[in-house]
Amino acid sequence: MVEMNKKTRRICVIVLALIIVAAVCRFVGNAGIIPELAGLIRSGIYIGLYAAWGISLRGRIIQPQVRRYLTAIAGLMVFWFMLRTCKFHFIPAGTQPDLSRYLWYLYYLPMLFIPLLAVFVSLSLGEPEQFRLPKWVKLLYLPTVLLVLLVLTNDLHQLVFTFPPDAAVWTDDNYHHAVGYYLAAGWFFICALIMLGIMLMKCRVAYIRKHIWQPLLFISAQIGYTIVYVLGASWLRFIAGDVTAVNCLMYATTLESCLQCGLIASNSRYDDLFDASTVAAQITDENYQVCLSSETAVPVTGELLRRTESGPVMLEGGIRLSGAPIRGGHVVWQEDVSGEVKRLAELQDLNETLEDKNVVAREEYESEKKRLSLMESNRLYNRMQLETADKIEALCSLLAQAKANDDPEVEKALLCRMAVMGAYVKRRNNLLFVSESEKRIPGDELAWSVRESLRCLRLRNVDTGYSVELEEPLLFADAVRLYDTMEMALELCMDTLSELYLKVGRNGGELFLTLIVCCQSDLSSLAGPMLTVTREDQQTWELYFHFREKAGEPA
């Protein structure tokens, strides 16, 4: 027999006790002792058993279609016993013989449909949840319905039960079986054997195939009982003369044995599955008393189990104990994380090593950064000194002249020239710094340079004005060319300069610088390929400097 767990054994004991009580009620009723009460108690026991069995099937069967068919079988068994109860306890055969007889005929509705639904159960086994029986299977309804109609219309033809010709009333106390009865009984057993055959063919598990003898034993007992009953054995009718009770009990036992041995997949025996699971886990109640434990779980004290509420607990040997609440208690599982702990330690050692290397690399990077910064600063200073060396030398010469001269007017002129030249050196180097971080010089930078240079001319009371119209940035070389040209003109005419107007802008693809100055100096020497010098009158000069942008070449 298939090994049963404690809960299953307890249920079997209760069911067996109820069946024994029902059997005692039958013998008590047959002996004439409170027959009506004993009969009703017996019917109530069987109806309750089959109703409870049907309800339990709803929770144990996984496949929806199998669940529906088995529930329908349980419902038909309840219906069969209700017909029997009405016939023997509420419809007296003496006063209502026809109604009593048709209730007897209706027995064959559940008797023929129960094995048919069992065949449908076997065909649905192992199929997905969306499975539906093929349409050809519905042809099995045809012989079943015809046989049921044959029994229900027996009064017209007596092909199932025959009654004596001289009988005033037809009852189940005086009848004989005809060919229709044997057809119905044959169909009953054919469906039962088909069900078992299909289940056996669909079963691929050797353990389950070893226990197929259990449902076969019950089916064989049912077939033997029916044969002996039809032959009219008086001893069998005395011991188990209630066909309804015996057939329902045998068929329910057959289907339940299919469930217990695994022919019908059920949603049960979780405790056995949990015990055999390779997952080291335990299920406890709310007080952390262990209710279920898998074989691989290491015994742990209740205090350690309770500590899992605040997070995983590490045990000896690299075992991590984790827990989670469930309905009515907690589940606690154990994981061997010794390998992960070892690898984590290795990673920590590697992390420390890398951290040390990072510190060294960071220090080397900072040192290299400082060295490169110094090199870049030196490069810029060298470039600035190289490009403005002549101006610095001129500034030193002017400073020496200012110190040696006592004339205030001459000293003022020298200081003005030094201020203009100093502003040029400052702004020229600033443009160089900007060009190092940006590819192009903003027009505002050139405008600020021009403004600072022209502001220094106020020391000589020179009226100045300027306009720099450069919306787009320009190259460093082009900006310096414009600024250098302005500085060159200022240095030439500064001593006699009285008024100056400057304009810088773009004209198509050219950059231009226009200078209008009032001075007594001769500026014609500034003329060149890109610089046009025009004398407007005795003291007014116009200088126009232009070149193609980005090329710095003559236009």
| Judgement on whether residues 239 and 284 belong to the same structural domain of the protein | no
Closest to 123 measured CA to CA, from 259, 264, 266: 264
Please give the residue that has the higher pLDDT: either 106 or 364.
Answer: 106
| Judgement on whether residues 178 and 322 belong to the same structural domain of the protein | no
d(CA 288, CA 103): 57
Please give the residue that has the higher pLDDT: either 87 or 208.
Answer: 87
The CATH number of the domain holding residue 171 is 1.20.1070
pLDDT at 309: 82
Q: Which residues contact 218 (CB under 8 A, 6 or more apart)?
A: 250, 253, 254, 257
Q: What is the pLDDT of residues 173-189, one digit of tens each?
A: 677 888 998 898 888 88
pLDDT reading at 332 higher than 50: yes
Q: Which two tokens stand for residue 543?
A: 């200088």
| Judgement on whether residues 249 and 303 belong to the same structural domain of the protein | no
| Judgement on whether residues 398 and 308 belong to the same structural domain of the protein | no
Q: What is the chain's mean pLDDT, rounded?
A: 82
pLDDT reading at 352 higher than 50: yes
**% of the chain beyond a pLDDT of 90:** 13
DSSP 61: B
| Judgement on whether residues 22 and 134 belong to the same structural domain of the protein | yes
Please give the residue that has the higher pLDDT: either 378 or 63.
Answer: 63
d(CA 208, CA 259): 11
pLDDT at 228: 74
| Judgement on whether residues 148 and 239 belong to the same structural domain of the protein | yes
Classify residue 343: in a domain, yes or no: no
Distance between first and last Cα of the chain: 111
Q: Which two tokens stand for residue 500?
A: 């100056």
| Judgement on whether residues 294 and 160 belong to the same structural domain of the protein | no
Rounded mean pLDDT of 283-292?
82
Q: Which two tokens stand for residue 345?
A: 């330690």
| Judgement on whether residues 99 and 148 belong to the same structural domain of the protein | yes
- Which helix (H) or strand (E) segment is 223 a member of? helix 213-230
| Judgement on whether residues 239 and 305 belong to the same structural domain of the protein | no
Classify residue 354: in a domain, yes or no: no
The CATH number of the domain holding residue 525 is 3.30.565.10
Q: What is the C-alpha R_g of the chain?
A: 57
In this structure, of 202-206, 450-454, 474-478, 507-511, the range with the lowest mean pLDDT score is 202-206
Tell the burial category of 479 from Cβ atoms under 10 Å away from its Cβ (0-12, 13-18, 19+). buried
pLDDT band at 2 (very low <50, low <70, confident <90, very high): very low
Q: Which two tokens stand for residue 127?
A: 């199929």
Contact 548, 473 (CB under 8 A): no
pLDDT at 499: 92
**How many separate domains does the chain show?**
3
The last residue of a domain, from among 293, 311, 336: 336
d(CA 242, CA 229): 10
Please give the residue that has the higher pLDDT: either 435 or 79.
Answer: 79
pLDDT at 200: 74
Whole-structure pTM value? 0.52
| Judgement on whether residues 133 and 279 belong to the same structural domain of the protein | no
Q: CA-based angle 9:14:16, to the nearest 5? A: 90
CA dihedral 77, 81, 84, 88 (to 10 degrees): 170
| Judgement on whether residues 426 and 538 belong to the same structural domain of the protein | yes
d(CA 446, CA 440): 11
Classify residue 374: in a domain, yes or no: no
* Residue position matching structure tokens 């003329």: 527
* Structural domain harbouring 317: 273-336
pLDDT at 555: 44
Closest to 226 measured CA to CA, from 115, 89, 149: 115
Please give the residue that has the higher pLDDT: either 261 or 512.
Answer: 512
pLDDT reading at 10 higher than 80: yes
Classify residue 380: in a domain, yes or no: no
